[in-house]
Amino acid sequence: MAAIHDGCPESRAYSGAPVEELRVRVFDAYQRIDPRKKTIRPVTIVDIDEKSLAKLGQWPWPRTTIADIIINLTSLGAVAIGFDVVFSEPDRLNPDKVAGQMRFIDEVTRTRLRELPSNDQILSDAIRRSRVVLGETGLAQAWSELDETLPTTGFGTLASGPGAAASAAEPFLYEFAGLLRNVPVLERAAAGRGLFTIKTERDGIIRRVPMVMVAQGKLMPSLSLEILRVVTTTPTVLIKTDEVGVKSIALRGLEIPTDRNGQLWVHFASQDPSIYVSAADVLDGKVPADKIAGKLVLIGTSAVGLNDIKATPASSNMPGVEIHAQLLESALTGAVVQQPGYGIALEFIGAIVMGLLVIAFAPRFGAVTLVFVGGLFASVLVGTSWFFYINYRLLIDFTYPLFSTTAIYLTLIFASFVREQQQRRQIRTQFVRYMSPALVEQLAQAPERLVLGGEEREMTIMFSDMRGFTSISETYKSDPQGLTALMNRFLTPLSNAILARKGTIDKYMGDAIMAFWNAPLDDKEHHINACEAALDMLERVDTLNREREEEAREGGHVYVPLNIGVGLNTGTCVVGNMGSDVRFDYSVFGDSVNLASRLEGQSKEYGFPIIVGSTTALAVKDRFAILELDFIMVKGKKEPEVIYAIAGREDVANSGRFQRLRNLTIEMLACYRSRDWHGALAAIERGRKTDEAQALQYLYNLYEARIRAFQQQPPPDDWNGAFALLTK
């Protein structure tokens, strides 16, 4: 996602990946042993937490709600307000949009709606009356041209040292090809704008946060730095450089030391729940004034579903917004850690001296003496490093000289360490594309779960497939690259929907996806999460279709909509690493898996995109709009299965339209199963005359065809209403 012009940060000619890994792990240990002690709490986090989402609905909230939060915080005396979220699109609930979407309102009401100020304008007015810093994010690629008329932060560079005349900051900074900004009306109203993008290191842990970055060719401050700039009323951020890179970032009355790439080593304190207040409580006026007055306020989320949970040396599940808070606390109190430039020279000299001593004396010592002397050297090196950290908060590495001077002894220890890291990297590599980062990290901490073999557990299985893939692929006969791009564009949002709901992707089969829940980590709500994921997938396909239709209209080519069918089933399965000792995959098999696949294949026949087995349906019936479809006998199974459609979430289930659909279906099925063919056909005809007929068109046609066949050739006397599927 991010790149550095001159290579890896803090690169050393003598430092390989294993040594660098050991080095940062040592620094992690220092922070765990002696974390930063909080003397003051200048920051409060307004948390978009599960409580707020439950009360105010799914994110994003209407901009008027955000405006109310800003107004309440400002009235309580917030010094500055920073957003760890981005408002990149106009509010979908703007009155003019609502007026255009509502069909059954009179023209006078529609005109009045269009005359109302937009929600974005209301939020802009609230931002302008306060001191607000908006969050922006770096992108892997630029999607559009930047609006050069929008305000940006000013930067200056002060170079020192032998190469000072030619020094510049940009070559050393992290660079993003693209920049995602807020809608212009908000950007122009804000007191500042900063990137909240946080870069993880190779092991997924956040240790350093870039204070200044380059995004789509522009110098951009981090969110935390921009808040400090606004609070200190600094007109221009000063970047101090020397011949090896960036030294520090200076504001009015404040200088922040960084590494050569403009990153600050965050001096982490333990997680602090006391600095959090719920966004819902802010809106309800339930937050004590002393929690806000005189504070820097960050607005972000700790909700797992919004996917902003990070791993740090102090915690494996710290919300990203708290990392910004910790950085602000460190900068304001001067409690920062740094890795000085001369530390590299000290490490290198120490390695040479100790190496020469080992060459000179190791042959004269026996094994016991060598271990004792090696331990003594190690103690001196560790003690020196710890002394600098505890007294001066300097990160002086002892691992490289220790590695050089006790090569044989450290090789044994290091081999064990490398094996552990390789195992964790293997887990992350194997699962990072199939599970959410938080689940991968939990699994990496318990690698014993990934032994060859399987275990039985109740799971929910999903199969999804693109409808009409063959005809779509025909249109790309002469453009295989275009078909590949379309498939990647199609599968990516579906995969993200699965991962966001704690699912594990088993495999991709062309245009199809197989996924499962409740393995390898326990998920007590696996039935619900699987159904939520299926509905999310339909919504994301709708979004993709709207984008493609617009592109087709602009490009003048044929638009073919994409549609999916989803089958879900819950049951006991065997899951684990299947394969050989040389190569294996984490997968699942069993009768329930086969049934899920069959259900997906039937979604086209019944006219509902999501079909679920009875176990799944009964487990989620209070949370979703469940509609019974049929009683089927699947080929290869002895027992029939009642199958259902999921037509929506709880709001749909409570709607009058869905209640009518369900009643029509129940009446028709009751007549059908009692062999009352005329009654069933009459129920179908009544249903076709209702406003809901379109939704049940396929189902009515299917049952009408069956009934006509049964009228010609009645089912046997022992018929129980089950219909045998002839195909898989």
- Rounded CA separation 167/134 (Å): 30
Is 339:265 a contact under the CB 8 Å cutoff? yes
Q: Are 38 and 271 in contact (CB under 8 A)?
A: no
| 609: DSSP letter | S
556-569 tens-digit pLDDT:
888 889 999 999 99
In this structure, are 72 and 173 located in the same domain?
yes
User: Which band of pLDDT confidence, cut at 50, 70 and 90, is reported for residue 165?
Assistant: very low
Beta bridge partners, 466, equal 564
Mean predicted confidence (pLDDT) in 617-643: 89
- Of 96-100, 457-461, 701-705, the one with minimum mean pLDDT is 96-100
What is the predicted pLDDT for the residue at 687? 86
Q: What's the distance, CA 126 to chain centroid?
A: 29
Tell me, what DSSP letter sits at residue 205? B
Confidence of residue 12 (pLDDT cuts 50, 70, 90): very low
Helix (H, G, I), strand (E, B) or coil at 249: strand
Report yes or no: 209 and 198 within 8 Å, Cβ to Cβ: yes
Asked whether residue 413 carries a pLDDT value surpassing 50, the answer given is no
Separation CA 574–CA 403 (nearest Å)? 45
pLDDT over 60 at 167, yes or no: no
In terms of average pLDDT, the best of 351-360, 467-476, 511-520 is 511-520
Residues 323 and 215 in one domain: yes
- Letter string b/e over residues 346-374, b meaning 16 or more CB atoms within 10 A of that residue's CB: bbbebbeebeeebeeebeeeeeeebeebb
- Domain shared by 118 and 226, yes or no: yes
Q: Is the dihedral of CA 184, 190, 195, 197 positive or negative?
A: negative
In a domain, 412, yes or no: no
* Rounded (10°) CA dihedral 674, 678, 680, 684: 180
Of 124, 114, 118, the closest CA to residue 67 belongs to 124
Angle, to 10 degrees, between the axis of helix 677-688 and the axis of helix 656-673? 160
pLDDT of residue 39: 82
Average pLDDT over residues 464-484: 83
For the record, the structure tokens of 588 come out as 């699942």
Show Cβ contacts of residue 512 under 8 Å, excluding neighbours closer than 6 positions: 463, 464, 465, 466
User: Is the separation of the CB atoms in 190 and 133 below 8 Å?
Assistant: yes
CA pair distance 246, 243, nearest whole angstrom: 8
The answer to whether residue 100 sits within a structural domain is yes
What pLDDT does residue 6 have?
40
Tell me, yes or no, whether 207 and 67 share the same domain: yes
* Strand boundaries in 385-543, DSSP class E: 453-466, 504-509, 512-517
Residues 117 and 254 in one domain: yes
18-38: per-residue pLDDT in tens? 666 777 777 778 778 888 888
State the pLDDT at residue 439.
55
Quick one: pLDDT at residue 1? Answer: 43
For residues 606 and 676, membership in a common domain is answered with: no
- With a CB cutoff of 8 Å and minimum separation 6, the contacts of 614 are 641, 642, 643, 644
Q: Is the same domain home to 561 and 475? A: yes
pLDDT at 394: 74
Give a yes or no: residue 407 inside a domain.
no
Which of 333, 358, 386 is where one domain is finished?
333
Q: Which 8-state DSSP code applies to residue 646?
A: E
- pLDDT (mean) for 325-336: 85
Dist CA 28 CA 268 (whole Å)? 10
Greatest mean pLDDT range, 215-229, 257-271, 549-563, 685-699: 215-229
> What was the pLDDT predicted at 194?
94
Domain count, the chain: 3
- Is the peptide bond prior to 520 cis by the omega test (within 30 degrees of 0)? yes
* b/e map 648-676, b = 16+ CB within 10 Å: beeeebeeeebeebbebbebbbebbeeee
Q: How many beta carbons lie within 10 A of that of residue 327, not counting itself?
A: 26
CA distance 400 to 409: 14
Instruction: Report which listed range, 261-275, 451-465, 467-481, 538-552, is most confident.
Output: 538-552
Least confident of 276-285, 530-539, 694-703: 694-703
**pLDDT of 629 strictly over 90:** yes
At residue 419, does pLDDT exceed 90?
Answer: no
Residue 606 pLDDT > 60 = yes
Domain boundary among 593, 617, 649: 649
DSSP 99-149: HHH-SSS-HHHHHHHHHSPPHHHHHHHHHHTS-EEEEEEEESS--S---TT
71-120 pLDDT per residue, tens: 999 999 999 999 999 999 998 887 877 666 676 676 767 777 777 888 99
Same domain assignment for residues 586 and 559? yes
Question: Whole-angstrom Cα distance, residue 236 to residue 251?
Answer: 8
Q: CA–CA distance from 468 to each of 358, 492, 568, 611 (Å)?
A: 71, 19, 20, 18
- Same domain for 643 and 674, yes or no, is no
Residue 427's pLDDT is 65
- Over residues 658-687, the mean pLDDT reads 91
Q: Cis peptide before 210, with omega less than 30 degrees from 0?
A: no
**pLDDT value, residue 17:** 62
Per-residue pLDDT at 464 exceeds 80: yes
Residue 46 domain flag: yes
Q: Which domain holds residue 133?
A: 42-333
Mind listing the pLDDT tens digit for each residue in 362-377? 556 655 666 676 677 7
Residue 644 above 80 pLDDT? yes
The mean pLDDT of the chain is 83
Tell me which of 598, 621, 649 is where a domain ends: 649
Q: How confident is the model at residue 405 (pLDDT cuts 50, 70, 90)?
A: low
Phi-psi region of 7 (alpha: psi -120 to 50; beta: other; left: phi over 0): left
The reported pLDDT for the residue numbered 163 is 53
The answer to whether residue 358 sits within a structural domain is no
Q: Has residue 696 got a pLDDT over 80? A: yes
Residue 347 is assigned to a structural domain of this protein: no
CA distances from 174 to 3, 9, 15, 163, 205 (A): 5, 9, 21, 21, 17
Phi, psi at 459, each rounded to 5°: -140, 160
Number of residues in the chain: 728
Residues with Cβ < 8 Å from 460, sequence gap 6 or more? 516, 517, 518, 526, 527, 529, 530, 568, 569, 570, 616
Check pLDDT > 70 for residue 412. Answer: no
SS3 content of the chain, % helix, strand, coil (to 5): 45, 20, 30
Half-sphere exposure of 157 (CA within 13 A, CB side): 20
Q: Which helix (H) or strand (E) holds 723?
A: strand 723-724
Structure tokens at 149: 């008329």
| Secondary structure of residue 215 in the 3-state scheme | strand
Same domain, 709 and 600: no
How far is Cα 163 from Cα 242, in angstroms, rounded to an integer?
Answer: 7
- The 3-state DSSP class for residue 478 equals coil
Of the candidates 569, 491, 574, 564, the residue with the CA atom closest to the CA atom of residue 531: 569
Residue 345: in which H helix or E strand, if any?
helix 341-361
What does 151-171 look like in DSSP terms, one character per residue? ---EEEEEE-STTGGG--SGG
- Note the pLDDT of residue 7: 37
Q: State mean pLDDT over 380-395.
A: 76
- Residues 553, 695, single domain; the answer is no
Sign of the four-CA dihedral 244, 249, 254, 258:
negative
Is pLDDT larger for residue 402 or for residue 480?
480
Q: How many CB atoms lie within 10 A of CB 546?
A: 11
- Structural domain contains residue 422: no
- Determine, yes or no, domain membership for 11: no
Q: Tell me, what CATH number does 593's domain have?
A: 3.30.70.1230
Is the same domain home to 496 and 635?
Answer: yes
Q: Residues 449, 450, 453, CA angle at the centre, nearest 5°?
A: 100
Pairing relationship of beta strands 132-139 and 192-195 according to DSSP bridges: parallel
What is the rounded distance in angstroms from the CA atom of residue 204 to the CA atom of residue 614?
40
Give the Cβ contact number of residue 57 at 10 Å: 11
